[in-house]
Amino acid sequence: MSDLSITAANVAASNTAIIERRYPFGATVTQGQVVYLDSNNRWQLGDASAVTGNNVEDKRGVALVSGANGQPAVVCVKDTDFTPGATLSNGGVYAVSTNAGNIADIADITSGNFPVFLGIAKSTSKLNLNPTAAGIAVD
């Protein structure tokens, strides 16, 4: 499968979402991309093919705004009714992609990758967003 095709303008959190606004971006990020909070308290692009950012204790989420390195970030870290701005497969399980910042079907995470579960689709447009890392590489 390929990564989700996200329309940034359609990415939205629900009114019950947990939103993080305390830290800036540490890279150029587009609304709808997956990010993690690095050791310098900057939001970086998530990548399942990299060791960095895939520890169990790392905070991660989806950017609700676009911005460059050093600019203020707004990140949804949990939301039972998240709109990722892409067409989902109802009941599908989604994860951080091996392409930095992207979202992929969990089946795309293969040997040598670091699985970071993002959530399960509740419909073709809503995701139960609850990012969780395995903390190990797939054999």
Summarize pLDDT for 114-128 with one digit per residue, the tens. 899 999 999 999 999
Domain count, the chain: 1
d(CA 69, CA 130): 25
Are 42 and 26 within 8 A, CB to CB?
yes
Note if the pTM is more than 0.75: yes
pLDDT confidence of residue 1 = 66
51-88: pLDDT as tens digits: 777 777 789 999 999 999 999 999 999 999 999 999 99
Q: What residues make up the domain containing 14?
A: 8-133
Q: Is residue 2 part of a domain?
A: no
Inside any domain, residue 139: no
Report the chain's mean pLDDT, rounded to a whole number.
94
